Amino acid sequence: MDLRDTPEEAAFRAELRAWLDANLPEDRRGYRGGEQRFGDAFYRDWSRALYDAGYAGLTWPKEYGGAGAPYSFQAIFLEESARAQAPSHVGVIGLGMAGPTIMAHGTEEQKQRHLSKILSAEEIWCQGFSEPDAGSDLAAVRTRMERKGDVFVVNGQKVWSSFAHIADFCILVGLSDPDAPRYKGLTYMIVDMHAPGVEVRPLRQITGEAEFNEIFFTDVEVPAANLLGEEGQGWMVAMTTLLHERGTLGFALSAQLEVHLGRLLEVARERVNGDALARDKVAREWIDLQALRYTNYRALTTYERTGIPGPEGSVAKLRWSEQNQRLTKLGRELLGDDGILDDGWWHHQQLRSRGNTIEAGTSEVLRNIIAERVLDLPRSR
Amino acid sequence: MDFAFTEEQQELKRLARGWLSERFPLDRDFDGGVDDQWGGLADLGWLGVSLPEDEGGVGLTFIEEAILFEELGYALYTGPYLETIGLALPWLGSDDRAAVAAGETRWSLEVNGLTPSLGSVDRVVADGSAFDARGETDASVDPSRPLGRLERGNGTPLPGSGDTARARTAMACEAVGVAQRVLELGIEHAKTREQFGKPIGVYQAVSHALANTYGDVELARSLAYWAAWCVAEGDESAQVAAAAAKAFATEAAVAACERSIQVHGGTGFTWEHPLHRFYKRALWLEGFGERPAQLRAEVADAVIGAAVTTG
């Protein structure tokens, strides 16, 4: 056990910190997230700059544009990005979900075609999993994929899909064999979002902003060469995506929380310095964040030693989402009389946080996963 | 960055789990007299884990001691190990330390006017001096860890000094062990107890309570191990880490016990079932020394800055 950086890690951290100081404009610090990241060219330029400097896809193999670095470097990258309050790479779905799934199940041609363009932010990805009648119950998707010679004809509707309105590609799970037993009839494919028959309608969220979308597929022809895995293996491939979504997310999430906590501490110093009750609440959030951070470190070490995500990591997203909701609400509370005003930051973050316990696996589903896979309790359904 | 136990440390954890479960089983007579197995602890080297070899110690670190504190909590060990190793040891000089390692002396420490296990130790540290353990014992929330009021005779000044970070981390680790054990008891019950024709663990009202405890335990463990590493390394974060760990882990242990009692239903509310013994240990750990709100006030001072007092 040694919580210090190794010499290699320390060197990487120092070099990265210097790079961020030199390249991130002062007025671009304090990343707010939300809709603005889609319209503002800066965010794509920033992503490209990360790629050119070798900081995008740190853990990806060099042959696909990555740096082939250990996972600890990715953790350091996220920590330092949080410290500098730097914006994240816009290719969130590509980096966290589509890319890892292509690396695990894609053909060599698919890897060569897609991976480096994900990292360079030249191509943006979205995820087509949820449907109006298939949210937590992913195996209930009904988007039809009918094979006709060398193509699949896709018809159906997806929903709650972030980035779809600016995306070039979609990782899509649909039903290719309605007669097969549950899980067996699903297929996973890469769909060109610019193909005829694909229509995207932005959905406005409770924040008033539109970060996610509905996607309608009407007789969209997708080449069979775009399948990820075999026809009928969609469930298995989708599990890879979700494992990566939740597995690599921990550090990114606690890094984001670190930014929010930094703001909370500023507000606490300015507004409620002598208020014991407020100080207690702020201290609680600081402690909970350290707990999350060090749990991520434990999960990281387990992963680096065994190659398998440890059970510690399964709580990261669950607890992060609940903490972000508490913390952003507290931020508004500490503003006192001004808390009722829309300050453009806390108001947005607090409303946005309500999605955290729903997106990427609801808290209910995550508790089921912990109960059944970690605690080995009997299945509830 | 390497945040896991070494192979040797994992082996120590396994050994402790086995040794303690044989001698302190759950079906033991908790209300009868207790053999604290002090000679056995000395033979295993557990009384001198972090002491140098020339004092009869093993020459390891506080991390190994932290592992033992966790396992002692898991077993609900009864005996003045926390008092001797977790609280008093940093005050002692070389000869006294050697006597501890040899299993000859049990120590305790007076904190806020209360001395844990006063009736079952030989010597007590109070205000930097050593006293013979004499005095009245009050009832405590945890009957297995009574609290006494020291009657001071002639004191002998001690060369060491207090180490609150170490003491708090020891209690945090013990709390993690308690929480882990009651979580396991809850899981076992939820798997085997059937109602409405199914094991109650299929009902999400039950399974999600246990999933919440699992999250609490893992987060508490991360804080406790972080603090243990800081204490072992003399890291500058040791104070704030230990305050955070004790506040979080003891509250987590109390909540874990309460949920486990609820999951056990009527059985969990009986004197016969050992759950209440764990619950009382958790309450003791939460209440002894600085309580969570006081610890969070310290954390607030460290991270927000000292409070500005007005008027």
The pLDDT confidence band at residue A247, using thresholds 50, 70 and 90, is: low
* B107 touches A: beta carbon within 8 Å: no
Task: Check CB contact under 8 Å for A301 and B3.
Answer: yes
What lies within 8 Å, CB to CB, of A77 at 6+ separation is: A16, A55, A58
Which pLDDT does position A196 carry in this prediction?
98
Q: Which residues pair with B29 in a beta bridge?
A: none
Closest CA to A212 of A359, A338, A49: A359
Task: Check CB contact under 8 Å for B225 and A315.
Answer: no
CA angle A266, A276, A258 (to 5 degrees): 35
Instruction: Provide the chain A residues 65-84 that lie in CB contact (below 8 A) with chain B.
Output: 72, 75
What would the two tokens of residue A13 be?
């951290």
Q: Which residues of B113-145 are buried (b: 16+ CB within 10 A; e: fewer)?
A: ebbbbbebbebbbbeeebbbbebeeeebbbebb
Q: What are phi and psi of A133, to 5 degrees?
A: -110, 15
* A149-165 tens-digit pLDDT: 999 999 999 999 999 99
Other C-beta atoms within 10 Å of B108: how many? 28
* A16-62 tens-digit pLDDT: 999 999 999 998 887 777 787 777 889 999 999 999 999 999 999 99
Helix (H, G, I), strand (E, B) or coil at A322: helix
How far is residue B107's CA from residue B81's CA, in Å, rounded to a whole number?
A: 9
**Amino acid identity, residue A62?**
K
Length of chain B: 311
How far is residue A266's CA from residue A279's CA, in Å, rounded to a whole number?
A: 12
Which pLDDT does position A201 carry in this prediction?
97
For residue B183, give the chain A residue with the closest CA. A375
* A6 touches B: beta carbon within 8 Å: yes
What are the Cα distances from residue A379, in Å, to A296, B201, B215?
27, 8, 19
For residue B208, give the chain A residue with the closest CA. A367
Say what the pTM is.
0.96
Percentage of residues in chain A with pLDDT exceeding 70? 98
Which pLDDT does position A223 carry in this prediction?
98
* A216-246 tens-digit pLDDT: 999 999 999 999 999 999 999 998 888 776 6
- Residue A227 DSSP label: B
For CA atoms A363, A364, A370, A375, give the dihedral sign: positive
Closest CA to A292 of B223, B276, B289, B302: B223
How far is residue A195's CA from residue A21's CA, in Å, rounded to a whole number?
A: 41
Whether the per-residue pLDDT at B16 is higher than 60: the answer is yes
How far is residue B237's CA from residue A4's CA, in Å, rounded to a whole number?
A: 12
* β pairing state of B123-126 and B107-109: parallel
Instruction: Provide the chain B residues 202-241 that lie in CB contact (below 8 A) with chain A.
Output: 202-204, 207-208, 210-212, 214-215, 218-223, 225-226, 229, 235, 241
Q: What is the CATH number of domain B164-303?
A: 1.20.140.10
Closest CA to A119 of A190, A57, A54: A57
> Domains of chain A by range and CATH?
7-90 (1.10.540.10), 125-233 (2.40.110.10), 248-374 (1.20.140.10)
Work out the average pLDDT over A166-188: 97
Whether the per-residue pLDDT at A122 is higher than 90: the answer is yes
Q: Which residues of A are known to be catalytic?
A: 245
First to last CA, chain B: 47
What would the two tokens of residue A22 be?
């030199």
What residues does each domain of chain B span?
A: 7-157, 164-303
Task: Check CB contact under 8 Å for B300 and A377.
Answer: no
Work out the average pLDDT over B75-89: 98
* B104-126 tens-digit pLDDT: 999 999 999 999 999 999 999 99
Which pLDDT does position A21 carry in this prediction?
96
How far is residue B16's CA from residue A209's CA, in Å, rounded to a whole number?
A: 56
Task: Check CB contact under 8 Å for A378 and B198.
Answer: yes
Which pLDDT does position A248 carry in this prediction?
60
Whether the per-residue pLDDT at B186 is higher than 50: the answer is yes
Which pLDDT does position B62 carry in this prediction?
98
Which pLDDT does position B114 carry in this prediction?
97
Q: Which residues of A328-358 are buried (b: 16+ CB within 10 A; e: fewer)?
A: bbbbbebbeeebeeeeeebbbbbbbbbbbbe
What would the two tokens of residue A14 be?
């120092």
What are the Cα distances from residue B293, in Å, to A111, B7, B43, B248?
53, 37, 39, 10
What lies within 8 Å, CB to CB, of A87 at 6+ separation is: A28, A31, A37, A42, A43, A46
Count of alpha carbons within 13 Å of A128, Cβ hemisphere only? 36
What would the two tokens of residue A289 be?
């964040």
B contacts of A72 (beta carbons < 8 Å): 1
Work out the average pLDDT over A291-315: 84
Q: Is A30 left (phi over 0), alpha (psi -120 to 50) or beta?
A: left
Which pLDDT does position B139 carry in this prediction?
86
Kindly write down the DSSP assignment for every residue of A353-378, as one continuous string. Answer: HTTTTTTTS-HHHHHHHIIIIIS-PP
Length of chain A: 381
Among the residue ranges B59-68, B195-204, B300-309, the one predicted with the least confidence is B300-309
How far is residue A109's CA from residue A102's CA, in Å, rounded to a whole number?
A: 10
Whether the per-residue pLDDT at B310 is higher than 60: the answer is no
The pLDDT confidence band at residue B33, using thresholds 50, 70 and 90, is: confident
Q: Which CATH class is domain B7-157?
A: mainly alpha
Which pLDDT does position B311 carry in this prediction?
41
Task: Check CB contact under 8 Å for B244 and A2.
Answer: no
How far is residue A336's CA from residue A278's CA, in Å, rounded to a whole number?
A: 11
How close, in Å, is residue A347 to chain B by CA atoms? Answer: 22
The pLDDT confidence band at residue A311, using thresholds 50, 70 and 90, is: confident
* A326-377 tens-digit pLDDT: 999 999 999 999 999 998 899 999 999 999 999 988 999 999 999 999 999 9
